[in-house]
């Protein structure tokens, strides 16, 4: 099972646009196809951003989703602090979670804050890129059967 960490913008996008790559990622996680890793700091950010007035149209649904699926999220306590992201140091919490979770992917829509393609063992990809990679691997696996 692939281990992933979602940047907040991906979670928000999943609720803003049904059928999008971010919403497909959540569907895969709900089905148990992906291990969705988080930390207390990330969950606090998810909830804090969703409570902002500009997201009131989706906040109720998204907050209910988080509460309902809290057990599906695999929570880790990062032991290592990193300072790799200079532009928005708060985003380092996603790298810290990825390190602790030994995540395969950190999925973000904000490549400005994550200017590298890989951090240690974790690939950093956009949502559509992740869906394309997963789809390709499924088709390759079927071809090998």
Q: Which domain holds residue 90?
A: 2-144
Output the domain CATH number for residue 92: 3.40.50.1010
pLDDT in tens, 96-110: 999 999 999 999 998
d(CA 10, CA 108): 6
Q: Name the residue among 111, 114, 134, 91 with its Cα closest to residue 4.
A: 134
Residue listed under structure tokens 């602090």:
81
Report residues of the chain scoring pLDDT below 70. Answer: 138-145
> Could you read off the pLDDT of 14-28 as tens digits, one per residue?
999 999 999 999 999
DSSP string, 61-76: HHHHHHHHHTTTSEE-
Q: In angstroms, what CA-CA distances link 135 with 23, 70, 132, 139?
A: 15, 26, 5, 6
Structurally, how many domains does the chain consist of?
Answer: 1
């Amino acid at each position: 099972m692939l281990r992933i960490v979602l940047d907040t913008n991906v979670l928000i996008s999943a609720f803003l646009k049904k059928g999008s790559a971010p919403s497909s990622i959540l569907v895969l996680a709900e089905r148990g196809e992906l291990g969705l890793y988080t930390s207390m700091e990330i969950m606090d950010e998810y909830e804090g951003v969703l409570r902002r007035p500009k997201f009131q149209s989706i906040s109720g649904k998204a907050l209910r989703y988080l509460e309902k699926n809290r057990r599906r999220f695999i929570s880790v306590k990062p032991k290592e602090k990193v300072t790799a992201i200079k532009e928005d140091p708060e985003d380092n919490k996603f790298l810290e979670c990825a390190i602790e979770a030994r995540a395969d992917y950190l999925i973000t829509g904000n490549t400005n804050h994550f200017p590298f393609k890989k951090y240690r063992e974790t690939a950093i990809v956009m949502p559509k890129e992740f869906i394309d990679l997963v789809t390709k691997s499924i088709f390759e696996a079927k071809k090998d059967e």
